[in-house]
Chains A and B, each alone.
Chain A
Amino acid sequence: MTGLSDVGYSTEAIAAGEAVEAVVVRFAGDSGDGMQLTGSQFTRATALAGNDLATLPSFPAEIRAPAGTTFGVSSFQIQFGARSVATPGDAPDVLVAMNPAALRVHLPDVVVAGTLVINSSAFTDRNLAKAGYEVSPLDDGSLDNYQVVAVDIAQRTVEAVKEFGLGHGDARRCKNLWALGLMYWLYGRDPGATLEWIARKFAHREDLAAANRAALLAGHAYGETAELGPALPRTHVPPAERAPGRYRTVTGADGLTWGLLAGAGKAELPMVFASYPITPASGLLHTLAGLREPGLTTLQAEDEIAAACAAIGASFSGSLGVTASSGPGVALKGEALGLAVSAELPLVVVNCQRGGPSTGLPTKTEQADLYQALYGRNGDAPLCVLAPASAADCFSMAIEAVRLAVGYMTPVLLLADGYLVNAAEPWQIPELSDWEDFPVRFHTDPDGFHPFLREAATGARPWVKPGTAGLEHRIGGLEKDFDSGHISYEPGNHQRMTDVRAQKIRGMADAIPEQDVAVGGLSGDLAVVSWGSTYGAVNQAVRRSRMKGREVAHIHLRYLNPLPRNLGPLLRGYDRLLVPELNNGQLVNVLRASFGVHAEGLSQVTGEPFRIAHLEHAFKEILEA
């Protein structure tokens, strides 16, 4: 590793800094300022320093929104701590603002008396006007309640990289690394990993490599030498307590792709992953397309319908078919999913939800496709629906999706979301042997075979690999006879087959764990019931409420269809139920309809994850009402 000696990194210096439990930092700038990259580098350095962490990237849907505008601002928030960190944090303690628009958009979120690190070079009349400032906030006293560190970052960057002969534009573009260097100094981070990354990234452009390196080190050195005083005191966030083992950071997208592959491995199947690009699901296809695993085939299909159909075809041929998309694409897949339900083929469908309806909010998160997952097909077409709770849980639930799909010959829909797929957290690398193998045994015996005979325990029909002699058969989306599997429009038969398909999915409750209570007792004043990516925020809010003496329990669902078999009785044990969701009230209605319980909804559809304080306040209100 390069690093330590090069930049005068020393552990004593950090240890001398102020020790803090947890910090929330947000980097914000123009879409072209490299904020996502800055954030992910900072995340890696922070993970290597041993903190627990959670991240929230946020970027506009436009690739290059006009520079300097408020709608072109891109940001990356990270919370890191010496204790367990469940969310990216409600409010930044430190905001790094690379231009006036970034300051304008993000200032309202910053904690009272928080720290603002501002690139004053960008505070020109033109940029101020674009951001809607009549007077510079650096001059009018409006920032008096904050700790302001205004540095002409761009100017200093240009000077630091002068010797490498870059054009002015290229030189200025290194300013995010200068800011990153300063933040590395502030939190005593080792820049080594970033220096390595620069060397790799610019392996073919020695001048850019040198300039980026120089900018990073200049930012770091600035912190070291400038007398920033009380405005920017060095801060020490001690490493979090962790079980010994090997760790890495994982995003939900990583977790899903690795989990799907692990699932295919456990099933001893080749995997065909077919997808059509859509934010925020594209990353899955990007990652898988880059792998060289002979058992994996990827297809960028011509549209989402084709992607779903190709995955179904792959499953028919004896591979594991997987397709991934976001809400609009899943809408297109609807008819094909019905075919998979009718043909009773295994299939895994990942929905990385985003804000809707229609094209909605491509880069913002929402949980509003639950109804679509449960009911969004013609006819009575039940399928299994799962929802991972965190980036790490994406790995487990992807394996689980494969296990259930092949075990029950059914499509399984995994409901992730934009926040989950982009969020990063440290992860103890699991042993694959912690999950049981579930090798698929294809049916090969022609004796008494028909394609819709069922296994008694699961209701699953036999899976036959084409190529198996003597088992040639035809399937399709027309209703089939319960006994022979041939086409049948007979009234009683359709009733029977509809019942069987419903029962098969209901019966999967036997193969999934009973619902547990994440925090709190089995009964009490209030249970908060959540699902999917809101786990961290709800969990923290419940814990904080309990510390204040409120009797609140947290129940978090990862299995949405079928629901765990003990869920009804469990819910009835509480006086009140509150269901916070990032939609206009979907799970809350499912629970009311399924169990006849009186549940109240707490809806938020701002495109942003819940804040802990907001939830805690809601719990308090409901308990005091």
Chain B
Amino acid sequence: MTAATASPKPVDFASDQQIRWCPGCGDYAILKGIQKTLAGLGVPQENLVFVSGIGCSSRLPYYLETYGFHTIHGRAPAVATGVKLGNPALDVWVITGDGDGLSIGGNHLMHVLRRNLDMQILLFNNEIYGLTKGQLSPTSKPGTRSPTSPRGAVDTPVMPARFALGAGARFVARAVDTDPKALGVVLERAHEHRGASLVEIYQNCIVYNDQAFAAITQRGRAADNTIRLRHGEPMRFGANGDRGLVLDPASCALRVVDVGGENGVPESELLVHDERNAALAGLLASMQPPDLPVALGVLYCDPEDQSGTDTERSPVQLAAVDRLLNEGHVWRVAG
């Protein structure tokens, strides 16, 4: 249960609380993925702190045998900022949803990213409000019917990864609840990054928005609708790796091409993923089916460490206070 355990197992990170998500909710798989990742990080269990807002997703800290703080709707990034400022030695994780992080808490998410304190922010995007029974979320696709949009949503959805890049995030990645292995890789990378890392995790809400990500998770469709990014490798995707991405210089836009074969372009002409390229990250973050595949993996990582100290703080010294009181314009009244 503690640091003394030689090599912890995922179950060591399961708390004794009964999980209360709906059966079949994507949150289960993400929880598992997190427990597995934590077991492999080598961080003393007692140094881990999970801070969440409000929503189905934000219940997650209760199920982890770490320090946890289930706070108020949208404010987890602000609370986590205080945790990290109060004790920089802690390993801080934020759990938030699309409504929590981008509607009520959009302002805090923006600022925690640009402030770049060292923490991992996992945004569970199910494109709907789960806990409050299925209302529209800021990430809901146009046309989504919900109790608050009976005739279909009309507003433009916010794209979390693009938002994060715009806010100055230095690490932005994406994963899907149905692919725990890739999720694990992304979580490890996020943890390794010194600074604020944002991981968007597509999460299926089986009750209120089932199959919202069918295009990228269904067998037979996923291969053509997603691309797994690997730093330094050409951007190929498709069932047989027969498709790729190129940059159209005229429009500064990404375009899908066939690779190899008679009519395809040679691999050497494909774009090569460079996670340090912020402009490229912006293009990748915006890709959506049907024209372009959804980018998964690490979209952007600027490894420059600007995140400040990670040592515990010392208490305020009374001697310093005494100095303050006695400096400046001080006069003496003689006895």
Contact = CB atoms under 8 A, between A and B. Distances in A.
A466 B70 contact: no
B62 A258 contact: no
Interface stretch (B26-34, B297-305, B325-333): B325-333
B327 to A, nearest CB: 9
Given A316-B82, A339-B72, A467-B87, A244 B315 contact: no
Contact of A473 (B51, B68, B71, B108): B68
Contacts of A262: 318, 321
B149 to A, nearest CB: 26
A475 B70 contact: yes
B79 interface: yes
Interface string A482-500: 0000110000000000000
What is the interface of chain A mostly: helix, strand, loop, or mixed? mixed
A214 B107 CA distance: 51
B81 interface: yes
B49 A466 contact: yes
Contacts of A307: 78
A309 B108 CA distance: 10
B44 A469 contact: yes
A193 B329 CA distance: 9
Interface residues on A, range: 35 or more
Contact of A429 (B17, B312, B325): B325
A516 to B, nearest CB: 26
Interface string A174-193: 00000000000000000001
B326 A429 contact: yes
B46 A467 contact: yes
Nearest to B114: A302
B2 to A, nearest CB: 4
B135 interface: no
Contact of A48 (B48, B68, B82, B329): B329
A319 B83 CA distance: 9
Contacts of B90: 317, 466-467
A255 to B, nearest CB: 10
Contacts of A517: none
A261 B79 CA distance: 22
B314 interface: yes
Nearest to A263: B316
A466 B87 contact: yes
Interface string A241-279: 011111111000000001001101111111110100000
B85 to A, nearest CB: 5
A459 B83 CA distance: 25
Name which of B46, B48, B66, B111 has the most chain A CB atoms within 10 A of its CB.
B46
A270 B86 CA distance: 7
A473 B2 CA distance: 13
Given A310-B81, A319-B87, A246 B71 contact: no
Interface stretch (A93-101, A126-134, A146-154, A289-297): A289-297
Given A244-B335, A474-B61, A477-B72, A270 B321 contact: no
A248 B83 CA distance: 36
Contacts of B335: 244
Contact of B71 (A44, A245, A339): A339
Nearest to B90: A466
A398 B2 CA distance: 38
A540 B110 CA distance: 52
Given A466-B46, A467-B90, A470-B2, A310 B79 contact: yes
A310 B78 contact: yes
A340 B95 CA distance: 19
B331 A430 contact: no
Interface string B80-114: 11111111011000000000000000011011000
A326 to B, nearest CB: 19
A468 interface: yes
B330 A305 contact: no
Given A305-B108, A476-B68, A477-B72, 17 more contacts: A243-B333, A248-B325, A261-B320, A299-B82, A305-B78, A309-B81, A309-B82, A317-B84, A321-B86, A336-B75, A466-B87, A469-B4, A470-B46, A472-B1, A474-B17, A474-B68, A477-B70
20 contacts: A44-B329, A261-B324, A262-B321, A265-B317, A266-B318, A270-B86, A295-B315, A295-B317, A305-B75, A305-B108, A306-B78, A309-B75, A309-B82, A315-B86, A317-B82, A317-B84, A469-B4, A469-B46, A472-B66, A476-B69
Interface of B: 1-4, 15, 17, 44-49, 51, 61-62, 64-72, 75, 77-87, 89-90, 107-108, 110-111, 312-318, 320-322, 324-326, 328-335
**Minimum-distance CB pairs A-B, first 6:** A313-B82, A476-B70, A244-B335, A314-B86, A310-B82, A317-B86
